Structure 1
Amino acid sequence: MTQAQTIQATEQQPFINVIRERRSVRAYDPSVRISREEMNEILGQAVLAPSSSNLQPWRFLVIDTPELKQKLLPIAYNQQQVVDASAVIAILGDVESYKKAETIYTQAVEAGYMPADTAKSFIERTVGMYSKLPPEVARQIVYTDGGLVAMQLMLVARAKGYDTVPMGGYDKAKLVEAFAIADRYAPVMLVAIGKAASPGHPTTRLPLQEVAFYNEMPAE
């Protein structure tokens, strides 16, 4: 192994450990609290995830007070991690995120990433296209982008020593009603975050040859 390869392997190892050590944790230490400052650091790194046309449609409702976690508990079918975790993050997708296209592309111009005339063209095209999407297509886009940012959030949390579990088991309609979430925001998932009281269970994965194929799919 060359010196460059050795350096590269050393740099990659911590991230490999993050991936391997991430577990879906459902038992949390209720005495551990994540400060707003640290939560913002986690979210700030999570939002570096990719998104369709860089519209960044994710929105985060961080539920971290005991009273509101108790309010969320029955909505999430009484899963104990809701109240024991430091916080539960409702990941929402903004189906009207195209309304921020001008802000996003103007920032790119100011950062020197894009000429102004290119940004103007992108804004017109993006707003024109996304504003006319059928509702089901717009929602599918934000579900995809929400999944991307959720995975990044969980990996960032693990890198900082915290544990998480993604939760699809909750009543979306009741969440929307209880927390007065506007129609433009589509619930994607809940993510509980905190310090594990007991380790998450190790799991196995299907053999790679059963899930990865090159150039053509196998016959049924």
Structure 2
Amino acid sequence: MVKFENNDFGDVLLNRHSVRHFDEGVKIPRSELREIIQETITAPSACNLQAWQFVIVDTEEGKKKLHEFYLPFNNPQIDTSSAVIQIFGNTLAFKKYRALWDQMYAEKRISKEELDKVYNTFLPLYEHADKTMLTADAMVDSSLAAMQLMLIARAHGYETNAMAGYDAKKAASVMGLDPEQYVPVMGIALGKPDKNVEELKSVRYPVDEVLKFE
């Protein structure tokens, strides 16, 4: 069982807030960043497609690349964070789909009937889908993973900031990915907050303004 620094789920969930200024003296080990991603990819995805890709930026050289496509208002969190995790949706994730399910069958985790069902329903759906559907699915999958990542980071004792505000046409190529396959979803800056900076805490709309029963 994973032992988190913060096992109080109520605190992890309800006291999460965006941080724009991090403690520049804090460095998160790559082994821990890898653990965070390992825990993140337990997130749900459509048909278990797992249409996500993560690029961890934790060097000055990498952050210079982020500056090539992010707008300047994201500079504080990019420059002061321990790392920025750039999340991309993988629109061609279905090409690995057969191997994934073959492995599950080989490990006797599913029956031959269940395997055939996947091949005759889910797989053709993606193999014949247009780019719009593949992009939409990848964006949803990656967004679910992004929210999970932010909560997991808090459980590890860190805070985060989810960032948009970038040139989506440049993001993949600057980070060394094929822009025809990978669509940028968001960046997540993480680290320890700078205790000398008081962050603005956002206010939520009343629940009745965003809730409707039928």
TM-score w.r.t. length of structure 1: 0.86
112-121 vs 54-63, greater mean Cα deviation: 112-121
RMSD of aligned alpha carbons: 1.7
CA distance in structure 1 between the partners assigned to 2:118 and 2:172 by the alignment: 32
* Amino acid in the other structure paired with 2:146: A
Aligned residues of 2:22 and 2:81 also touching (Cα < 8 A): yes
User: Given the alignment of the two structures, is residue 189 of structure 1 paired with residue 189 of structure 2, yes or no?
Assistant: no
2:85 match: secondary structure:
strand
Which residue is equivalent to 1:177? Answer: 173
Which residue is equivalent to 1:8? Answer: none
Specify which of 36, 42, 48 is matched with residue 42 of structure 1.
36
Question: Taking structure 1 as reference, are residues 106 and 195 closer, same or farther at Cα in structure 2, changes over 3 Å only?
Answer: same
Which residue is equivalent to 2:3? Answer: none
Structure 1 unaligned regions, length at least 5: 1-12, 216-220
User: Given the alignment of the two structures, is residue 164 of structure 1 paired with residue 163 of structure 2, yes or no?
Assistant: no
Aligned residues of 2:13 and 2:151 also touching (Cα < 8 A): yes
1:202 match: secondary structure:
coil
Which residue is equivalent to 2:135? Answer: 139
Q: Give 1:124 deviation, angstroms.
A: 4.1
CA distance in structure 2 between the partners assigned to 1:38 and 1:199 by the alignment: 27
CA distance in structure 2 between the partners assigned to 1:150 and 1:102 by the alignment: 25
CA distance in structure 1 between the partners assigned to 2:209 and 2:161 by the alignment: 26
User: Given the alignment of the two structures, is residue 201 of structure 1 paired with residue 200 of structure 2, yes or no?
Assistant: yes
Structure 1 residues 188-213: Cα deviation after superposition (integer angstroms, max 9, x where no partner): 11111111114542222111111111
Work out which of the two has the higher radius of gyration on C-alpha atoms and give 1 or 2: 1
Mapping 1:99-118, distance limit 5 Å: 99-110=95-106, 112-118=108-114
Percent identical pairs in the alignment equals 33
Structure 2 unaligned regions, length at least 5: 1-6
CA distance in structure 2 between the partners assigned to 1:28 and 1:179 by the alignment: 23
CA distance in structure 2 between the partners assigned to 1:212 and 1:112 by the alignment: 43
